[in-house]
Amino acid sequence: MPSNKSVSDAPIVQFTNCRILRDHQLQREDLWVREGKILNPEKLFFDEKGSADVQLDCKNSIIAPGFIDVQINGGFGVDFSLATDDFKSGIDLVSQKILSHGVTSFCPTLVTSPPSVYHQVLPQIGVRNGGAHGAGILGAHLEGPFISKEKKGAHPEHCLRTFEAGAFQDLLATYGSLDCVQIVTLAPEMRRSSEVIRELTKRGICVSLGHSVANLSQAEEAVQHGATFITHLFNAMLPFHHRDPGIVGLLTSDKIPAGRRVFYGMISDGIHTNPAALRIAHRAHPKGLVLVTDAIAGMGLAPGRHTLGQQVVEIDGLNTYIAGTKTLSGSVATMDTCVRHFQEATGCSVETALEAASLHPAQLLGIEHKKGTLDYDSDADFLMLNDNLYVQATYIAGEEVWRQDVSGM
């Protein structure tokens, strides 16, 4: 057998008998992995004269990039917006548990909170690679407190803030640090928001528009200043109106700067958006759709009372409300459930459904050269799924980190 030693001593694993999602198509090819990266087999054969050390039969599974959840508030009893002594063990628990949902990277999300919470929690959210310990952390998503009172949704009104004279300094003082921050959701109609959007964008932080009563021109102006995302489209914003479609109008706006794409999150759980609304958004702007769970601490737990930051929420089936109201407050849906529901509701292809949870969030965050695809040299974070899009196994950096237990079936 030819030696692989010329380039690396690391073993080469060949995944065979599978359909790989590559270039927007399921292709019947093998997947080659070494040292946590996806290999180009042609280079391996012709340049290195190498071959596989290990072959794994995938039994005709689909192999797709790992899912990336850019809006998740917690799960399994852990609330990312609560400053607890064991916060680190909480985040570790969630990152471990969501491997079974196919999530290989995520952005822990904090809802509107007092400054003291940000100051305590944010230093404990370190960006880190995924592995057997759990999904990778890409950085925090701060949803609020610079949002609209009218569209606060489940966010506590007494913690909402506006931008004062030193707008960006206000934001820094509130959060304490932006070191591990990946996304900030704000309402673009707020005075001085433009300078804040410009400053955040300059630092490589994604600005998302949400919990807002902005009209379309205010939303377009925010995009021209650097905003690239919409937080849970249709939820906590003005409803579409034909004379001024508001933030929703960004999906078909002709005022988006050349070469830029606006992405939008959707909670595809069958509760937050009617399937018809999901279809309208998808048909209007398919390449911008990013599936998010917006999951709260109650995900994975029995119905009953749980927390979302400063609020008490009640879970009733798949519905989650602020206790004593009918105000929706996050979801208890898992990412794999959202992918299946999206495909069923829109009738889109399997490839499209999978890319909405992998490629699109990676493009949003500008990490598509290493995550969200199975291109050569990208990170070997991937899933094995059956034809009904149920996750059978999860891999991070080419190592199996979770597998469906079929012993009892």
Instruction: For residue 224, give Cα distances in angstroms to 219, 250, 259, 367.
Output: 9, 11, 12, 22
Q: Are residues 60 and 148 in the same domain?
A: no
Cβ neighbours of residue 278 closer than 8 Å, sequence gap 6 or more: 266, 268, 342, 345, 346
- The predicted structure's pLDDT at residue 407: 58
Q: Are residues 152 and 179 in the same domain?
A: yes
Token representation of residue 132? 């057997």
Domain annotation covers residue 222 = yes
- The predicted structure's pLDDT at residue 48: 81
Total domains present in the chain: 2
Q: Are residues 44 and 167 in the same domain?
A: no
Q: Are residues 353 and 391 in the same domain?
A: no
Q: Quickly state the pLDDT bin for 25 (edges 50, 70, 90).
A: very high
- The predicted structure's pLDDT at residue 2: 45
Annotated binding site for Zn(2+): 143, 211, 232
Percentage, residues of the chain above pLDDT 90:
91
Q: Are residues 154 and 190 in the same domain?
A: yes
Flag whether pLDDT at 4 surpasses 80: no
Q: Indicate which residue of 294, 336, 379, 381 is catalytic.
A: 294
Give per-residue pLDDT as tens, 83-131.
998 999 999 999 999 999 999 999 999 999 999 999 999 999 999 999 9
Give per-residue pLDDT as tens, 180-237.
999 999 999 999 999 999 999 999 999 999 999 999 999 999 999 999 999 999 999 9
Mean pLDDT of 259-272: 95
Q: Are residues 59 and 70 in the same domain?
A: no
CA 193 to chain centroid, in Å, comes to 24
Give per-residue pLDDT as tens, 151-189.
999 999 999 999 988 999 999 999 999 999 999 999 999
Q: Are residues 107 and 44 in the same domain?
A: no
Flag whether pLDDT at 354 surpasses 60: yes
* Beta-ladder partners of 181: 140
Annotated binding site: 143, 154, 211, 232, 235-236, 243, 272, 328-330
Q: What is the CATH number of the domain that holds 116?
A: 3.20.20.140
Q: Are residues 271 and 337 in the same domain?
A: yes
Q: What is the CATH number of the domain that holds 399?
A: 2.30.40.10
- The predicted structure's pLDDT at residue 249: 98
Three-class SS state of 142: strand
Burial code (b: 16+ CB inside 10 Å, e: under 16) for 113-152 equals bbeebbbbbbebbeeeebbeebbbbbbbbbbbbbbbeebb
Flag whether pLDDT at 355 surpasses 60: yes
Parent domain of 205: 66-365
Q: For the CA atoms of 28, 34, 37, 39, what is the dihedral angle to 10 degrees?
A: -50
294 among known catalytic residues: yes
Can you spell out the DSSP letters for 32-91?
EEETTEE--HHHHHHTS----SEEEEEEEEEEEEPEEEEEE-EETTEETTS--TTHHHHH
Q: Are residues 49 and 74 in the same domain?
A: no
Mean pLDDT of 134-154: 97
Mean pLDDT of 11-34: 97
